[in-house]
Amino acid sequence: MKASILLFPVLASAAAVQYERRQFAQKFPLAGVKKMEPRLNKEAERIMVTWGPYDLLPRSAKKTSIMPSMDPNGQAFIATFDDGFCEDCSVLQGQVGIQFASNGTEADVKHGVYTHHIDTIINKGNKNWISFCDSAKNNSISGFGNLLDNINVPMTPFLMMGDDNGNTPTQYTSSDGEFKSGFYVPKGANIAASSEVVNYSEDTIPLYLYMDLEYMPGKYGSDAKTMLLSVTGCGGRKIALNHDGPTRTQSEAFKILEDGYIINGKGHLHDGGVSMEMLVNGKSVCESKATYGGDKGTLTVDGKKWETISAMTDCGKPIPVRKGDALSVAATYDLKLHPQRTQGHGEEAGVMGMWDLTFAESMGPIPSKSLRSAEFL
């Protein structure tokens, strides 16, 4: 996501620590907390928390917001939450999204609601595990986590989602739950969310924002961190596009700043995207591929069938990295195979190429087999 555009109002309000007084955001009331069965660790606890409701206005209605819209028909909001979620806990797996307030079911493309993005932050500090930029030539901001470091208030990115990538849980441990790590939520935490949602109907739709959290009480192993890295880097590199076939855009190298593991990674693309690749020291270590259409990724708008990205594959296994390693990312688009989504008066929507990465610092020696070889794959 274009972090500096989407999240500056949230960060400004966070710095002031006066969301409502400054009218940067609205506080969503707690609607409910439901206990659920854990999926990753049988000893963990799991809850579904809902806040709201929030009215999504009809497609043609005029929307007002302090945030610039990423979609001409989109409705943006900034919200804060200080209750319902666990505190002094380590989140193993989490998911954020929106539900219909009428029946509690997922509000998705199939049902005429498109979530451009939901990004959340939490008031805790974290040391950066990777460099701000993919080049020393520019000191601008490359991703969400980097933007937060420039605000003089401790804030850390938390759960994120967008319908361009399907809404699957964010994991702060390995996909099998065996890696001992989690995202630590401190006591007295506050969460802020920045979102934009598109209503393809002419009805006002009440929505709940939800979080599905599986967690262990207290601190559990390594404190995991998330980071968004963009192929555009800090210098505003443009993503190459061609209506006649595939194109590939690669960043320069981001520098790893501490020993540890990339315990999970998933690409973020917009329609037209095929895959995101991650390379460490020039070797390909993971490819996140897009799936289009399906039950939740197909909709008919203005008489035309639209298939959006409904899922992205993830890396699966933890990837060991060492201080000084060089990480780069690449995005592949194929507009001949998958046209861009249209918006407004038929113009093509913008594109992105990002990695949503989860990192855990090493609690012991990194295996001797280095990422300077691809043998670990």
pLDDT digits (tens, 9 = 90+) for 31-80: 999 999 999 999 999 999 999 999 999 988 888 766 666 777 889 888 99
Say which residues have a Cβ less than 8 Å from residue 40's Cβ, sequence separation at least 6: 92, 93, 171, 173, 176, 177, 214
**Choice between 160 and 31, residue whose per-residue pLDDT is larger:** 31
pLDDT band of residue 160 (cuts 50, 70, 90) is confident
What whole-number distance in Å separates Cα of residue 171 and Cα of residue 233? Answer: 25
C-beta of residue 58 within 8 angstroms of C-beta of residue 218: no
Tell the residue number behind the tokens 């989602």, with chain if given: 161
Residue 104 or 65, more confident: 104
What confidence tens digit (pLDDT) does each residue in 330-353 have?
999 999 999 887 655 555 667 889
Residues facing 255 on adjacent strands: 326
Predicted pLDDT at 346: 52
Task: Tell me the per-residue pLDDT of 113-147, one tens digit each, with 9 for 90 and over.
Answer: 988 889 899 998 888 899 988 875 544 444 444 44
Q: How far apart, in whole angstroms, are the C-alpha atoms of residue 114 and residue 196?
A: 9
What residues does each domain of the chain span?
Answer: 3-361
Name the DSSP letter for residue 163: G
Q: Which of 7-11, 165-169, 253-257 has the lowest mean pLDDT?
A: 7-11
Q: What stretches of 24-106 adopt beta strand conformation (E)?
A: 26-27, 30-36, 45-56, 74-81, 89-100
If residue 22 lies in a helix (H) or strand (E), which one and from where to where?
Answer: helix 19-22
Nearest Cα neighbor of 172 from 125, 127, 126, 223 is 223
Burial classification of residue 45, based on how many CB atoms lie within 10 Å of its CB (0-12 exposed, 13-18 middle, 19 or more buried): middle
